[in-house]
Structure 1
Amino acid sequence: MTPVDGGVEPATFRDVVAAYVGLTKPRVIELLLLTTVPVMFFAAQGVPSLGLVAATVVGGTFSAGSASVFNCVYDRDIDEQMRRTRRRALPRHLVSPRAALVFGVVLAALSTAVLLLWVNPLSAALSLGANAFYVFGYTMLLKRRTTQNIVWGGLAGCFPALIGWTAVTGELSWVPVVLFAVVFFWTPPHTWALALRYREDYANVDVPMLPVVAPAREVGRQVVVYSWVMVATSLLLWPVAGTGLVYPVAAAVLGAVFLLEAHRMWARTRGTEDLTAIQPMRLFHASNLYLSLLFVAVALDPLLTR
């Protein structure tokens, strides 16, 4: 029997399957793959082998899913107390911690095997390293100890750009490093906007996200600073990679729109801590759209300028 919404209802097979899928955080996986596949197109300067893309996507999905499962297992105590996370599988007792841990290990092993056998050892090593850093570096070491948790912990989410490049080329270069840096500087504005919306949740479980320990005005200021650096970094790809005009035009337009939204949020923090007035989720959704369209431009540039 499984507690659901304060009562007791039997968990169906569909509930259990959905619970295991939910542990992998599919929306996070989608975002990570969105920064992997376009880089493969850019690395190939056209359409890469579809078999290679499929293997990289499958391996990347298993790896990202594994990291999310381990995160859910470790954070199950605070997830149960937070509005945003209390309906996850472990707080609802749809899956036991031990079963979830086994599931995470299996996904990690499958990911490594797929990338080793059908992609290459470098991509497999990068994927495994990103997984380990997210679990041990961010989840276990940084998240509950420092306001810089998401700044440095966000490094794990930058690796897909490297993995997509190495999957095609078998080596690293400055091109994927620039895209790695774009995601690195994008992560704080994206995450702090969400954390500002749910700052009471984080405060209640003693997770020192920046919006918990700093006033909204300071959060808005830092969001603007990171946003400017992010946009400037995104434009570096043009000279570093020698792109056509599609990418820099898209990066400039998307960057201008993102900066406008970041400055607007900062302006709305003046003299208030009222989240209804600040509307941080506007920036959160804008950040998702920005990263998605920027990497679409990465994929389209070689296709439209060959």
Structure 2
Amino acid sequence: MTDLSATRAIEGEAQFGDYFALLKPRVMTLVVFTALVGMLVAPVAVHPFVGFCAILFIAVGGGASGALNMWWDADIDAVMRRTSGRPIPSGRVTGGEALAIGLALSGFSVVMLGLATNWAAAALLAFTIFFYAVIYSMWLKRSTPQNIVIGGAAGAFPPMIGWLAATGSLSLEPVLMFALVFLWTPPHFWALALFMRSDYDDAGVPMLTVTHGRPATRRHILAYSIVLAVFAVWLAVTAAGGPVYAVTAVALNAWLLRGAVQIVRRDESAAEADRYLVEKKFFKFSLLYLFLHFGALLADAGLRGAGVL
């Protein structure tokens, strides 16, 4: 069996891991975590089994979005170094298979989330899948340098879905959690684009670095980081926040702004000389930034549940 599997892999036939890769598991991790935090910080207790089912179906919906995105973007994925090894451009999975998987999982996740929790949460999950697959992937990504700005909403909906699954309604707290992810997305991806610009040039994707240049992108990173810091700290004074989140938000956003200022002060000769070291550090920090904010929200919720706060 091992020899057969190896032979199939060499010949390019799909393995289970290739179909799983269609679901963008790294992105799904963020979706699951932020949705879980949105559910657990809500002021309504959720039965563990119902909560498990809700997060599972939200994860499946996120995976469905990833499959639909890979189906549509297969042509540009094949051009970009960062994505050329994905299942479709590598030939291990066909576009038709990815489309079928994406559509099937979309319908399954929405219906099951509605049955497990409520139809408001299911409706927002359906809109999230539509937003990512159609509005972002099919329209914004290839037509405007604001693709990441507007398209970032797709990744920002999960904490709202988690909150809705628990409560059936929305309030300021989930909106601010949405804003935290939404405003984080542009500087996170623009930092990546600063040192991966050639990929977007080759693929014809109108990323800000391509349409406006790196200096303008650096200024945009600083501007969005300032607005992001305001909303991140604002969340600390709501019912979802607490002392752990407050300290975490102040420290992380001070570091964020420091990094953004360093980026905007650099010229291209300095960046090329050290191979975009500062930009890469900012990008790596941004990966931790969101998880630490939501982790702090979860810690405060745990302290409240234990009666400490």
1:9 aligned partner, one-letter code: I
Give ranges in structure 1 of 5+ residues lacking alignment.
1-7
Partner secondary structure for residue 89 of structure 2:
coil
- Mapping of residues 8-47 of structure 1, within 5 Å: 9-11=10-12, 15-44=14-43
> Given that residues 269 and 278 in structure 1 are in contact (C-alpha distance below 8 angstroms), is that contact kept between their aligned partners in structure 2?
no
- 1: CA distance, partners of 2:59 / 2:177: 20
1:253 aligned partner, one-letter code: A
Cα 1:242–1:287 shift into 2, 3 Å: closer
- Mapping of residues 152-301 of structure 1, within 5 Å: 152-241=150-239, 243-269=241-267, 272=270, 274=272, 276-279=274-277, 280-301=279-300
- 1: CA distance, partners of 2:144 / 2:180: 23
- For the pair 1:135 / 2:108, whether they are aligned, the reply is no
How high is the sequence identity, in percent, across the aligned residues?
A: 37
- 1: CA distance, partners of 2:53 / 2:99: 24
User: 1:270, CA displacement in angstroms?
Assistant: 5.9
Q: TM-score, normalised by structure 2?
A: 0.90
Cα 1:275–1:283 shift into 2, 3 Å: farther
Give ranges in structure 2 of 5+ residues lacking alignment.
1-8
User: 1:275, CA displacement in angstroms?
Assistant: 7.6
- What is the CA RMSD across the aligned residues, in angstroms? 1.8
1:241 aligned partner, one-letter code: A
Q: TM-score, normalised by structure 1?
A: 0.91
Moved more, 95-104 or 267-276: 267-276
Q: 1:4 maps to what in 2?
A: none
User: 1:262, CA displacement in angstroms?
Assistant: 2.0
- 2: CA distance, partners of 1:129 / 1:245: 34
Q: 1:94 maps to what in 2?
A: 92
Q: Give aligned pairs, total.
A: 296
- 2: CA distance, partners of 1:284 / 1:247: 22
Q: 2:79 maps to what in 1?
A: 81
Q: Deviations over 1:36-87 (max 9, x none)?
A: 1112221147x74321321122111111111111111111111111100110
User: 1:272, CA displacement in angstroms?
Assistant: 4.7
Cα 1:167–1:275 shift into 2, 3 Å: farther
Q: 1:3 maps to what in 2?
A: none
Cα 1:242–1:20 shift into 2, 3 Å: closer
- 1: CA distance, partners of 2:51 / 2:263: 38
